[in-house]
Each structure stands twice: as structure tokens, then as C-alpha cells.
Amino acid sequence: MDALLAFWERVTSQQPALTPTESWIAIAVAAAIVLFPPSWRLTRHAVTIAHEAGHALVATLTGRKLSGIRLHSDTSGVTVSRGRPRGPAMIATLLAGYTAPAVLGLGASWMLGAGYATGMLWALLAALALVLVQVRNWFGLWSVLVTGALVFAATWLLDERWRALVATAVAAFMLLGALRATVELQRVRRGGRARNSDADQLARLTHIPGIVWVGVFLVVAAGCAVVAGAFLGLTPLPSIAG
């Protein structure tokens, strides 16, 4: 019982906020990882995990029956759910993929701004555990386990300052990764190699052009990044005059 209480205190305790300089250093590291092609090819798997988790979560919340998640070595993935092939539930499920990493980064930034860097990392571990039980292929299992092991190492081995730096870098990586993944989607679509992408499936369901849905993904990602900056105390929230 004492060990459980100590663990709960560790997870729920608040840590001192990073200075703006420290936060920008963490963000710069995340940006370098996203912009440098070799590191992006490796770490993009984490964005794919968040993408497919978004599909899975919204499919479940909208009443569709989740069949499983598959993650592939080329950083693609697929989430299979059963239910009506058309309608609001299917549209919401498709919308959730490219927006999920940005929303995850936004939620992580909110926790960081409140001083819960350790809690944010443990929440991420819990989410990975939920994804793990839905994965249906060996590469997917390996990908989620390696990601989880890295997050666990950060929570267990680093002191609170380093945990906050890592947590900030993770949040920034998800936000910036969401933007890059969406830009890459449009590049592939322009080459005619993504006829079954989320944007194109949404276009067939709604009769709204796929490029509009790509724009929606970009607006969500950019909006989440702006609000996340405010949560971290780096940018002001835009005010609406009334």
C-alpha cells in the first residue's frame, strides 16, 4: 500500500514550470527531429500510433465495433472497425486520424502548463497500453512496446527537470509531426498515390473535395499548436473583440 501511495503521489505531484528558454530548447529539439529526414522516418511511427489510436477511440465512442489496429514498417497503419459504412459515425472516425496527434499534443501541453509533466508521461503510457491490446500484427506490437519502453524510461530514470523537458519535446513533436504528416498527405495525394486516404474517403462520403479536408486537418493542427503555445506560456491566446 505504501508503494502504491508513493507511486500515486509521484504521478499526481506538480513540478516547477520550465523557463521559456528551456521550453524553446525542447521545442527546437522536437522540430529538428521532425525536419531531419532520417530521424523523421524513424520517429514518424509514433505519429502513426497516435493517428490510429484516434481512429480507434472515435470509432468506439460513436458506437462502431473496433476490430483491431495494424501498424506497418513504412509508417502506414490501418484501423478496422465495423458498422454503417456511411453517416456521422464514419465521418467522425475518419476525421479523427490526422487530427489525433495534434489534439494529443494539445492535451499534453495543457498538462504541462498545469505542472503535471510526470502525470502527462504516465497518461501517455496508459494510452499506449490501451493501443497495445488492439494491435493485430507483430510490427505494430514491437512499435508500441518500444515507444512505451522509451516513455517509461523517461518517467522512471530522469529527474523532474529532465522529465519536464522530455515531456515538452514529446508534446511539441506531436504538434509539429501532425503538421508535417498532413503536408506529406497532400504531397502524396497530388501524385495520385493516395486514392484511399482519409481525406479522399471523406470526400466520397461527403461530396466535399479532399483538398478541403486536408485544409481542415491543417487548420486543426495549426490551431492546436497556437493554443498549446499559450498553455506553455510561450504565446498569447488570440482575443476576440466583442
Global pTM? Answer: 0.93
Query: Residue 23's closest CA among 180, 221, 164?
Result: 164
Map residue 41 onto helix, strand or coil: helix
Q: How far is it, in rounded angstroms, from Cα 171 to Cα 16?
A: 17
The confidence band for 237, taking pLDDT boundaries of 50, 70 and 90, is: low
Residues 101-146 have pLDDT tens digits of 999 999 999 999 999 999 999 999 999 999 999 999 999 999 999 9
What secondary structure, in 3-state letters, does the chain show?
Answer: CHHHHHHHHHHHCCCCCCCHHHHHHHHHHHHHHHHCHHHHHHHHHHHHHHHHHHHHHHHHHCCCEEEEEEECCCCCEEEEEECCCCCHHHHHHHHHHHHHHHHHHHHHHHHHHCCCHHHHHHHHHHHHHHHHCCECCHHHHHHHHHHHHHHHHHHHHCCHHHHHHHHHHHHHHHHHHHHHHHHHHHHHHHCCCCCCCHHHHHHHHHCCCHHHHHHHHHHHHHHHHHHHHHHCCCCCCCCCCC
Do 100 and 53 touch, CB atoms closer than 8 A?
yes
Picking from 63, 108, 103, the residue whose alpha carbon sits closest to that of residue 81 is: 63
Report pLDDT for 242: 47
Residues 36, 138: Cα–Cα separation, whole Å? 27
Show contacts of 81-86: CB within 8 Å, 24+ apart: 81/55, 81/56, 83/59, 86/205
| Residue range 175-201, pLDDT digits in tens | 999 999 999 999 998 877 777 899 999
What is the reported pLDDT for 98? Answer: 97
Q: Please count the other Cβ atoms lying within 10 Å of the Cβ belonging to residue 163.
A: 19
Residues in the chain: 242
Round to whole Å and give the CA distance between 86 and 202: 10
Using 50, 70 and 90 to split pLDDT, how confident is the model at 89?
very high
**Dist CA 51 CA 71 (whole Å):** 10
> Which residues contact residue 63 at a Cβ distance below 8 angstroms, ignoring those fewer than 6 apart?
83, 89
Query: What burial class does residue 123 get, using C-beta atoms within 10 Å of its C-beta: 0-12 exposed, 13-18 middle, 19+ buried?
Result: middle
Confidence of residue 34 (pLDDT cuts 50, 70, 90): very high
